[in-house]
Structures are given as structure tokens and as C-alpha cells.
Structure 1
Amino acid sequence: MKTFIIKTILTTSIIGLFMTSCNNSPTAKEEDVKEATQDLIDAEADLDQAEYDSISDFNTFKESIQLKLVENQNVIDDLKLKITSKGKVERDIDEVEINKLEKRNTDLRLKIENYEQGPAQKWALFKVDFNNELDDLGKSISEMADRNKKK
């Protein structure tokens, strides 16, 4: 008799646990679907914001670079005017160097205009490389201008 009662209690407990642990109600599934849908909406909104921020960052960078490139071109044009008063040999040497500077400036302008947006890592590398090239060009232009002032 004791074993019968124990078996009955044990069987009832196992069946009860099984029934309560399996919550297959449509309401619970519906809540899971709503939560997953909201997570998807939030993720899409975050992605849209990240794309907007990336485009905005690129446009701001591009505008500032274009201003620097225009300034570089103005300095190069001034250098061209200053070398006209030199002798032929000096003028020819300076013209070759000025043409190289002008070509580098034009190449940088084309590089920023033709850049296509990609992953954030690619953008970060592009930005660093571009800034290094622009700084190097700026130093070269400054050195050329300093040499022309001394002569």
C-alpha cells in the first residue's frame, strides 16, 4: 500500500512538472514574436542611424579636405607667379617641382571625390592614409614656399 501511494504521488508529480514546464500556449508564442519584431525594428533603426552618421562624417571630412586642397592650389598658383622673375635654369627646376606638387594636389582631389563608402574599417584606414598624404603635400608646399622666400 505504501509503495502504491508513493508511486502515485511520484507519477503525479512528474506529470505535473512536465505539464507546467511545457508552456506551449499561443499567448507566450505571440509575446515572443512581438519581442523579436521589436528587436528587429530597433536593430534596423540603429543601422539606419549608423549609416546616416557615416555619411555625415564622410561629407564633413570631404568638405574640410576640399577647402585644404583649394588653399594648396592657391599657394601653388602664387609660387608659379613668383618664379617668373627668376633665371631660366632656376625657373625650369622650380616649374618641375611645382608641377609635381600640383599633380599630387589634383590626385588627392580625385581620390576624395572617387572614394566609395565601405566598411567602417576601410573608411578609418582611408582617412588616416589620406590625412598623411595631405600633410606630406602641405609640408612639401611649405618647403617650396620657404625656398622661394630665401632666394
Structure 2
Amino acid sequence: MNYKTRKISNLIFGLASVAMAIILFDGCKLPAEDKETINSDESNENLVEAKESLDEARKEYVLRYEAFKLESDNKIAENEKVIAELKAKAKMESNAAKRDFEKELAVLEQKNQSLKEKMSYYKDEGDDKWESFKMEFNQDIDSLGQALKDLTKNDTN
């Protein structure tokens, strides 16, 4: 082999090596890019699913809140009705019994008004606080309802 042939041969071999390196390097890069695209697509799908799930949970929460509020408003309105009836009956009592009865009734009326305000001023602070609020509110309204029943029983005796 002469010098020129060897030089051309080395040049061809060098170019072929560079071409192979480029092909190998480029070939290695494509799957990584594909993986990134796949991971990005999966991440986007997960994000969309999470957002939909959050939206659905929020809708359910609002529906539960509205149902509870309606139920509570009805109980408060019923308490107001009972209080009005008891006030009317109190007007027919004797002076000593009337004063005690009216004092007890005024305390219960204030408690009912406080519950009404508590319900109207409630602000969404998350599901845990909602459950705690609901439990406490139900205990308070049940306690008030029982006190009104007891007052009515005492009034009829």
C-alpha cells in the first residue's frame, strides 16, 4: 500500500468512525427523549386526573354543606316557632312564674340566634374542620332542642 492509499484509507476509516459515533450517540439520545415525552404525557394525565378528582370532591363537599345548612336552618326555624309559641303562653302566666319562664326562654332564644349566626358565618376551612364544626353544631342544636322540649314540659305541668 502506498502512502496516498493509506492516507485515503485512514481518512475513510476516520470518517466512518465519526459517522458511527454520531449514529450511536444520536441513537442513544432518542430513547431518552422518548422517555421524557412519555413521562411528561403521564405526568400531564396524572395532573388532569388529580384536578378532576379534586373538582369532584369539591362538588361533593359543597353539596354536603348545602344539605347540612338547609337541615340546620330548618331546625333553627322550628326552634324559633317553638320560642314564639312559648312567648305567647308566657303572657298568660302569673307574674312570678312568668318572669322565670321568660328568663329561661330569653336564654334559649339567644342560643338559637347564636347558632343561626354561627351557621351563616361559617367559612370553608377544609374537610377536617368542617367535620368538627358539624359535630359541635349538631350537639349544640340538639341540646337547644332538648332544652326547649324540657321548658315546654315544665310549662304544661
Query: Does TM-score exceed 0.5, indicating one fold?
Result: yes
CA distance in 2, matches of 1:132, 1:42: 38
Q: In structure 2, the residue corresponding to 1:85 is in which secondary structure?
A: coil
1:32: which partner in 2?
39
Matched, 1:94 2:118: no
Gaps spanning 5+ residues in structure 1: where? 1-18
Deviations 1:2-56 (Å, cap 9, x if unpaired)?
xxxxxxxxxxxxxxxxx9x998432222111111100000001111111111111
Q: Which has the larger radius of gyration?
A: 2
Aligned alpha-carbon RMSD (Å): 1.8
2:148: which partner in 1?
141
CA distance in 1, matches of 2:30, 2:96: 92
Code of the aligned partner of 1:136: S
- Aligned match of 2:136 in 113, 129, 136? 129
Q: TM-score w.r.t. structure 2 length?
A: 0.79
Structure 1 stretches of 4+ with a deviation exceeding 4 A read 21-24
Deviation at 1:132, TM superposition (A): 0.4
CA distance in 2, matches of 1:23, 1:80: 84
The share of aligned pairs that are identical, in percent, is 25
Deviations 1:62-102 (Å, cap 9, x if unpaired)?
00000010001100110011111111111111111100010
